[in-house]
Amino acid sequence: MKKSHLNLLIPQWQGGGPDLSTYEGGQELKDNYLKGVELTEIEVGTENVSAAKNHIVAYDELLKQLTLAKTQIADVYPDTIFTIGGGCDSDIVSISYLNSAAGGDMTLLYFDAHGDLNTPESSGSKHFYGMCLRTLLGDGDGKFIDTLFSTLSPSQAVIIGVRDLDEPESEYINNQNVSTLTVDDIEADIESVIKAVKEKNHKSIYIHIDLDVLDPSEFPFVPVPVLGGLKSDTFIKLLKRLRGEFAAIGLGLLEYSPSGMADNEVIRAIVDLGVRL
């Protein structure tokens, strides 16, 4: 039976507040890297974000877009999903669906310089992109959790390249024993990631890529760069190892700001993997 695949474009930007760069980045990805690719697009508005409601900026806009994503995915029930953002909150519905389809037998590889582990109450900015992983883990606003097909256990996550955490996020990682790998760990040996995934012993993986995991000296095209990230060459080698070693059922390409370049080696490697899941 032929596998069903969904390429989902959701250039959701409101989770980062009044910054349209990830919306514009999503459009650039579509124009430069996804020509000829069958895409399902989620309608995302560009009006000014609304003030915080229930401790979340742009509450209604985000709920609407995530609900639309849930409807589109439910219409297809795909085996694999490549989600193109938008901010790093753009793929939470995709992750939750694939986790549900896998019966929870899935490891989430969360490439990100940040933890995204705040609650609405602990967040200083009230921007949802800093709460999205915590929401996926079942701890956040109830209506946002209701947009998900499932929630994940903290034991399913491996946060890769994290180096900029708020105090509540560090406390959560320590209290829940969330697996993390530093840039130094990975630069010393990319097999540290392979080992960490094998120890989870799940049938499949989801690869969430917030591009700020990369070193901004090599890849500055992100809204919130953080010094000391992964080198592009290391990242591409790691992506190839993951592709060869594990069954990837989903991938998210997120937090891209327009570069003005028609082609980039890192983006090309991610897109090639995403469309071929």
Domains of the chain: residue spans and CATH: 5-275 (3.40.800.10)
Q: Is 221 exposed, middle or buried (0-12, 13-18, 19+ CB in 10 A)?
A: buried
Helix (H/G/I), strand (E/B), else coil: 61:
helix
What pLDDT shows up at residue 3?
86
Average pLDDT over residues 52-78: 98
Per-residue pLDDT for 2 more than 90? Answer: no
pLDDT surpassing 90 at residue 169:
yes
Residue 271 is predicted with a pLDDT of 98
Q: What is the mean pLDDT of residues 205-220?
A: 98
Q: What is the predicted pLDDT for the residue at 111?
A: 98
Q: Report the pLDDT value the prediction gives residue 170, as an integer from 0 to 100.
A: 98
Does this model's pTM top 0.95?
Answer: yes
Q: Say what percent of the chain tops pLDDT 90.
A: 98
Compute φ and ψ for 233, nearest 5 degrees: -65, -40
CB–CB of 59/52 below 8 Å?
yes
Residue 201 has pLDDT above 80, yes or no: yes
Nearest-5° Cα angle at 144, 141 to 148: 130
Bin 135: left if φ > 0, else alpha if -120 < ψ < 50, else beta: alpha
Spatial CB neighbours of 44, under 8 Å, sequence gap ≥ 6: 10, 11, 12, 13, 23, 65, 86
Using the CB atoms, write b or e for 1-19: b if 16+ within 10 Å: eeeebbbbbbbbbbbbbeb
Residue 1 has a pLDDT of: 62
Residue found under tokens 């071929």: 276
pLDDT digits (tens, 9 = 90+) for 89-141: 999 999 999 999 999 999 999 999 999 999 999 999 999 999 999 999 999 99
